[in-house]
Amino acid sequence: MSYRRSRKDNNHDQLANLFRQMGCSAIDMVDTGIPGWPDMAVGVIGKTHLVEVKNVETAYGRSGLNANQTAFARDWRGEPVEVVCTTEDVIALVNKWRKP
pLDDT for the residue numbered 3: 47
Is residue 3 in some structural domain?
no
Is residue 21 in some structural domain?
yes
Q: What is the DSSP string of 62-84?
A: HT-S-HHHHHHHHH--SSPPEEE
Residue range of the domain that includes 36: 12-98
CATH code, 92: 3.40.1350.10
Is residue 5 in some structural domain?
no
pLDDT digits (tens, 9 = 90+) for 55-68: 988 877 888 999 99
**In this structure, are residues 72 and 51 in contact, taking their beta carbons and an 8 Å threshold?**
no
Is residue 6 in some structural domain?
no
Number of domains the chain is built from: 1
Q: How many CB atoms within 10 Å of residue 86?
A: 15
Is residue 70 in some structural domain?
yes
Question: What global pTM score does this model have?
Answer: 0.89
Q: Which amino acid is at 11?
A: N
Percentage of the chain exceeding pLDDT 90:
77
Is residue 76 in some structural domain?
yes
Looking at per-residue pLDDT, the higher value among 5 and 76 belongs to 76
pLDDT for the residue numbered 9: 84
pLDDT digits (tens, 9 = 90+) for 26-47: 999 999 889 999 999 999 999 9
CA distance 69 to 83: 11
